[in-house]
Amino acid sequence: MTLVAGVDSSTQSCKVVVLDAGSGTLVREGRAAHPDGTEVHPDHWWRALSAAFDDAGGLADVSALSVGGQQHGMVLLDHAGEVVRPALLWNDTRSAGAAGALTDEVGAEDFARRTGLVPVASFTITKVRWVRDNEPELADRVAAVVLPHDWLTWRLRGYGPADSSPLGPDLDQLTTDRSDASGTGYWSPSSGEYDLDLFKLAFGRDAREAAGNAGPCDPGTVVLPRVLGPGDSAGAIHPGCFGPGTAASGPRILLGAGAGDNAAAALGLGAQPGDVVVSVGTSGTVFSVASRAVADPSGTVAGFADASGEYLPIAVTLNAARVLSSVAGILGVDFDELSRLALDAEPGAGGVVLVPYFEGERTPNLPHAKASFHGLSIASSTRSNLARAAIEGMLCGLSGGLDSLRAQGGAATRLLLIGGAVQNPAVQAIAAQVFDLPVVIPSPGEYVARGAAVQAAWAHDGNRPQWSVAVNAAPEPDFQPAIRQNYLRASSHIDPGN
């Protein structure tokens, strides 16, 4: 049996899965926590990766591995391979002003045409602009700009600072993949190349793509990772990268290209063109596998590339599972009781609508809006209606993301609903009433890490594996358009705030 491993280096933790390359069956797994915060020194990820390998029983019998990672995080390296400052993560919003400035300088339509997206504070390009403007003494030291999964892959291959890596700081060995590159704001999914003029506009210095082998270069030019294609190998894990006797030591382990987290999840789910994935986490994401690049000048849909050679348009909502925990707290119940209450109410919750903008909202773009209940009367103000309105409101917000994808011409034939909250029976039943697509709930699993393992097997065997995905539920379609109509009517009256 050939074993492959996948890593999910997320905001909260590092997860490792070891799978049978032939069937995709889980053999063992491990995890380790990451520190909280919106900026984190990458050394924390490195230590967590080693601990997660140990927790998963080591890699001595593993033939290939790949790393999926949180998108957009900015890791800055100097010529010695040292990290210049803690990485700014996707959820660090200090660069919101930089996003607005870049959009004004380039124009939203031109930005979307060139990169598939319009800058918001999440994207890497806004973070490099923020560093240029606010930390110029650090910006002068920068020799390379990479993403979290790029840095981990580079370190696994044995590169890094001279005093803590076997092979030293060869920046020309930096690699990434098309899915993660497409979230930077200076790479084009349609051309498959960096837009170096945009990077220079943001950072004020020239950049070049890593050459793959060291050679003389202008020391003032910033190195960007070489972009690998689907199924490509980044090299191999160096047996001494963590030091002798660690869980990563052993025979040659091939390294896949790695991927951004949403693209890795799509691989792990086996998503195909026409599939829409709705992920219900702290925030909500709605993305689909598409056969053409998307450019939305409104910025509602980010036109990323995927990790299979297709494209991954995505819309994000800020309010997802926390809507349920907030209303459960108001009602003084746990999730199980919230589900029971919601299923006691009729579809439409007796006219009660929750517009769930507890944290403002991104789709639609209402960052200063607040949540509100509508349609309350003496008769309708029941615990069951409030519980159901919470679930309907959360899912209707996500269905707005689906509308945005469709507006960009995306095909939608099936909806895959993932995330811890979707195991709630009421969420499953109500999803079949809110979405006008067949809804499938895959069994709970680490789909980002599983998708990275798909890449590992692909690099090892030369073919993308076709692993089956177990289905936990497939509720009977029961589309109730009035639920969404009531929600749209209520949300049209929301005060956008200041």
Active site residues: 261
Full DSSP string of 56-73: TT-STTEEEEEEEE-SS-
The encoded tokens of residue 439 equal 């809804």
Task: Please tell me whether residue 162 adopts helix, strand or coil conformation.
Answer: coil
Phi, psi angles (nearest 5°) of residue 304:
-75, 165
From its phi and psi, is residue 31 left (phi > 0), alpha (psi between -120 and 50) or beta?
Answer: beta
For residue 350, the 8-state DSSP code is G
Q: Are the C-beta atoms of residues 415 and 438 closer than 8 Å to each other?
A: yes
Enumerate the β-bridge partners of residue 296: none
Tell the residue number behind the tokens 């899915």, with chain if given: 179
| Angle, alpha carbons 403-409-411 (nearest 5°) | 80
* Dist. CA 278–CA 234, nearest whole Å: 30
* Dist. CA 90–CA 22, nearest whole Å: 35
Q: Are the C-beta atoms of residues 292 and 311 closer than 8 Å to each other?
A: yes
- Residue 250 CB burial class (10 angstroms; 0-12, 13-18, ≥19): middle
State the helix-helix crossing angle for 481-491 and 383-407, rounded to 10 degrees. 90
The encoded tokens of residue 195 equal 């837009």
Strands (E), 121-165: 144-146
For residue 173, the 8-state DSSP code is G
Of 106, 148, 109, whose CA–CA distance to 129 is shortest?
A: 106
- Residue 35 CB burial class (10 angstroms; 0-12, 13-18, ≥19): exposed
Residue type, 37: G
H or E element: which one contains 355?
A: strand 353-355
* Dist. CA 431–CA 81, nearest whole Å: 48
